[in-house]
Structure 1
Amino acid sequence: MKNTEILLTIKLQQTLFIDPKRVRLLKEIQQCGSINQAAKNAKVSYKSAWDHLEAMHKISPRPLLERNIGGKNGGGTALTTYAERLLQLYDLLEKTQDHAFQILQDESVPLDSLLSATARFSLQSSARNQFFGKVACQRIIDSRCVVDVNVTNLPEPLHVSITTKSSARLKLMTEKEVMLMFKAPWVKITKQPLENQANQFAVTIKSVNDEEAILQFGDTDIEFCATVSRPNDWQVGQQVWVHIDQEQIILATLG
């Protein structure tokens, strides 16, 4: 929907703080260093510009403008660091809104999970394997925190080994949504199951080329991507086993 326009408005104390018109005014001040010239560039009257700036100033947590005295052009008006960050935040929110609207057209993206939706439309990663799940439990083994994560359609949790500091930083708790990522080289393929091996699943080779194999778990939409060094050893439709080292899985979550 190329013609879609989403106008972002931010209120503070139930009063308009910033909108597209005020953003343009601040950006013009940032560019030219003059309220008078900024008003002309934004195609508003000088009085209207002052009214907007005064209204923002009254409810802003920090000053938005500062006067530059003297200098080559005899002084002028500049944005404070807070105002510059405000513009950056506004641009970021606009991009987020645009991405959010785009995923509305992709029915494969669930909208009942903030983490899943956010990651799918904004996160780019070199890790070919990305899954979403919820923390089932966590325990300390050999000074490491092993986190069990339930992933829909997998019969057993994925086990992830991280440091205790990482667990605390991620604020992990039961039922918290997490994202799991691991690169294709860490997915190992064997023709027979290994004994006492965590994160091991029976899969079918869906496709294979000189670099990688795509492996499907049952009749589900779950697929693993694995790097292969000897592609001739594997065939499409072949039943194999995959296993992932629990220390090679990266966990991510929202705060």
Structure 2
Amino acid sequence: MSQGKVEAMLGLRREGRPMVGRDRIELLEAVGIHGSISKAAKAVGLSYKAAWDALNAVNNLLPRPAILGQTGGRQGGGAIVTDDGLALIASFRMMEKRLEKVAQMLAGDGSGDSFSLLWSLGMKTSARNAFRCTVTDIRKGEVNAEVVMRLSAESSLTAIITAESLSDLDITIGREVMALVKSSFVMLAPGAELPRISARNRIVGTISHREDGAVSAELTLDIGDGKSIVAVVTRDSAEEMELTLGSKAVAFFKSSHVILAVD
């Protein structure tokens, strides 16, 4: 007797709100492709109202909206997928891919440690800055390797990892990786001029958010292409450098402070 294929279905829910699964993620992807809720609804075979209700459920899942737009009546209006929406799509697809591997292992279709994969689905990190990048260059040494990645159209990241890690993670040119940087490792300098320092990573941006505490200040730097970097500095330093909303600043950090991870 042949066994049917084991399939894993991923669903996300927050505080009892409607489930967000593959169908709603596909709808969100369609909005990103067509730039319109009505066109996205047609592409996935839904009515405009059903699509609008589904996208509202997606928005309710996140602290900030996954999609922004206007209803525009029955024909719908223009709509965009926000950075949070893009992050949700990427995270969902990554988790779905890993869950599928677990399903295949449980069905006996492959070999490996399914429990390790299950653990990785719930992996959390304390690093505030997590970027999905594409490797553009690798400079190998006897002990360490320098990995250069495209962060955005204007910016790149450099990481120093051991040659052993490069091999273990199977990092090659063209591969997508996650680059993690703790906010406490990120330093800031006012203005748009790159400081003359030894730190390999120096990225210009605009301060889009600032939250002051009793001792420290958390600042978010908009670096373009919908990406941002979070830095935590002392409140006194933020005041002395006049790091206010809308002002230009340079985020800089060492290549040794960039941690790489792969799916």
The TM-score bracket by the shorter chain reads 0.5 to 0.7
Count of aligned positions: 164
**Distance in 1 between the 2:204 and 2:2 partners?**
56
Larger mean CA deviation between 160-169 and 208-217 belongs to 208-217
Distance of 2:256 and 2:126 partners within structure 1 = 17
Superposed CA deviations along residues 128-172 of structure 1, whole A, max 9, x for unmatched, are 11110111121125731110111233x242101111111111011
Work out whether 1:166 is the aligned partner of 2:165: yes
Aligned equivalents of 2:200, 2:95: Cα separation in 1: 26
Q: Is contact 1:129–1:184 with CA below 8 Å preserved after alignment?
A: yes
**What SS does the corresponding residue of 1:216 show, helix, strand or coil?**
strand
Q: Residue type matched to 2:4 in 1?
A: L
Aligned AA (1:101): G
Give the alignment of 1:1-255 within 5 angstroms.
15-16=3-4, 93-94=8-9, 97-99=10-12, 101=21, 104=25, 105=58, 106=66, 107=81, 108-109=85-86, 117-118=93-94, 123-141=123-141, 143-153=143-153, 155-191=154-190, 192-195=193-196, 197-210=199-212, 211-218=217-224, 220-229=225-234, 230=236, 231-233=238-240, 234-254=243-263
1-structure distance, mates of 2:203, 2:187? 11
Q: Secondary structure of the equivalent of 1:224?
A: strand
Instruction: Say which SS state the counterpart of residue 205 (structure 2) adopts.
Output: strand
Distance 1:140 1:156 in 2: 22
State the shift of 1:224 in Å: 0.6
Output the amino acid matched with 2:203: F
- The 1:183–1:117 alpha-carbon spacing in structure 2 relative to 1, beyond 3 Å, is farther
> CA 1:174–1:207 in 2, change beyond 3 Å: closer, same or farther?
same
Bigger radius of gyration: 1
The answer to whether the 8 Å contact 1:217/1:223 transfers is: yes
Q: Give the distance between the partners of 2:140 and 2:92, measured in 1 at CA.
A: 27
C-alpha displacement of 1:16: 2.9
Is the alpha carbon distance of 1:157 and 1:14 closer, same or farther for their aligned partners in structure 2, counting shifts above 3 Å?
A: farther
What's the offset of the Cα at 1:180?
0.8
TM (norm. structure 2) is: 0.54
Partner SS state of residue 217, structure 1 = strand
State, as a whole percentage, how many aligned pairs show the same letter. 20
Aligned CA-pair RMSD: 3.1
Letter of the 2:128 partner, please give it. Answer: R
TM-score by structure 1 length? 0.55
CA contact (8 A) 1:127 1:183 kept: yes
Q: Give the distance between the partners of 1:135 and 1:239, measured in 2 at CA.
A: 27
Matched-pair contact (CA < 8 Å) for 2:222–2:228: yes
CA contact (8 A) 2:142 2:163 kept: no
How far off its partner does 1:116 sit? Answer: 7.6
CA distance in 2 between counterparts of 1:142 and 1:212 reads: 38
SS in 2 for 1:15: coil
In structure 1, C-alpha distance between the alignment counterparts of 2:88 and 2:156, rounded to whole Å? 23
Please tell me the residue identity of whatever aligns with 1:212. E
Query: How far off its partner does 1:98 sit?
Result: 1.7
| 1:158 partner letter | L
Compared CA separation, residues 217 and 172, structure 1 to 2 (3 A)? same
- Residue in 2 aligned with 1:43? none
CA contact (8 A) 1:159 1:246 kept: yes
Gaps of 5+ in 1: 1-12, 19-89
